[in-house]
Amino acid sequence: MAHNKVILITGASRGIGRAIALAFAEPGSTVIVNYRSGREAAEETAEAVRRRGAQAVLSPFDVAQPEAVKAAFKDITDAFGRLDVLVNNAGITRDNIFPRLKESDWDEVLAVNLKGVFLCCQAAMRPMLKQRFGRIVTITSVVGFTGNAGQCNYAAAKAGIVGLTRSLAREVISRNITVNAVAPGYIETEMTQALSEDARRALLEQIPAGRTGTPEEVAAAVRFLASDEAGYITGQVLHVNGGMYMG
């Protein structure tokens, strides 16, 4: 599917984004690896993509900075003439119980996890509308559906992604652009390594599969939604969570 396609993945230096970059890596495809600060890790991802026969390009920018986003998308379309797939994966957490949640914790998480998705989707519109083809997949989270104590900011942003996804999906499906989301449950990455042993155990008890998920299992869902075969699927959320939540 990725043959001759240009695919941009935000936050692809590590974790789920890295696995997504690798899932698209095949001869003929161009995988654009975005990150904010982890250059070394992003280089490693790009190298791994190249080993699978794809072209890999680094594109460092902060998804929350409008001018940086515009400039990066312009560079991409100038260089490759198109953008077929946008995967909005970049995300951060700033967890705290609600009475102690700082305004800056709220603003930072909403800026990266929700406004960043808006900015990247809008910047992707020009090439996708022009070429009358596009696939946008955004990584939301199970907590956008269930809520999670200590994550009011994160859950609000992740739930917001669903409204944005469904609305944009309705606007652009007539132009052959689909807009979907993938909602992972509990996946082993640096983001979840910060959890205490107790929190980890409590989480595992809520997962009927009895195990955490892998970044590759999330990447497979993204890859499907970005495929040509998924052209009639839009405005959907695909849950990848071992049965933790059934939407």
Residues acting as catalytic residues: 154
219 belongs to the binding site for ligand NDP (CB under 6 A) = no
54 belongs to the binding site for ligand NDP (CB under 6 A) = no
Give the one residue of 7, 10, 136, 155 binding ligand NDP; rule: CB under 6 A.
Answer: 10
84 belongs to the binding site for ligand NDP (CB under 6 A) = no
- DSSP bridge partners of 9: 33, 87
90 belongs to the binding site for ligand NDP (CB under 6 A) = yes
The stretch among 36-44, 46-54, 123-131, 194-202 that binds ligand NDP (CB under 6 A) is: 36-44
Binding mask 141-170 for ligand NDP (x = CB under 6 A): x-----------------------------
- Alpha-carbon distance of 194 to 112, in angstroms, equals 19
237 belongs to the binding site for ligand NDP (CB under 6 A) = no
Residue 62, amino acid: D
Give the one residue of 7, 8, 69, 112 binding ligand NDP; rule: CB under 6 A.
Answer: 112
- Alpha-carbon distance of 69 to 179, in angstroms, equals 19
Helices in 83-115 by DSSP H: which ranges?
103-110
Tokens describing residue 132: 């009358």
The dihedral through the CA atoms of 1, 3, 167, 108 has a sign that is positive
Tokens 């940086």 sit on residue: 68
Instruction: Closer to ligand NDP by CB, 17 or 242: give it.
Output: 17
191 belongs to the binding site for ligand NDP (CB under 6 A) = yes
24 belongs to the binding site for ligand NDP (CB under 6 A) = no
Provide, rounded to whole angstroms, the least separation between the CB of residue 161 and ligand NDP: 9
Give the one residue of 1, 26, 38, 176 binding ligand NDP; rule: CB under 6 A.
Answer: 38
105 belongs to the binding site for ligand NDP (CB under 6 A) = no
Binding mask 126-145 for ligand NDP (x = CB under 6 A): -------------x-x----
The dihedral through the CA atoms of 14, 245, 88, 147 has a sign that is negative
- Alpha-carbon distance of 4 to 18, in angstroms, equals 20
Residue 33 CA: distances (Å) to CA of 44, 68, 179, 218, 222 = 10, 15, 20, 17, 15
% helix, strand, coil for the chain, step of 5: 50, 15, 35
Instruction: Closer to ligand NDP by CB, 91 or 127: give it.
Output: 91
- Alpha-carbon distance of 110 to 123, in angstroms, equals 18
Nearest to 182 by CA among 137, 244, 227: 137
Interface ranges with ligand NDP (CB under 6 A): 10-17, 34-38, 62-64, 89-92, 112, 139, 141, 184, 186-187, 189-192
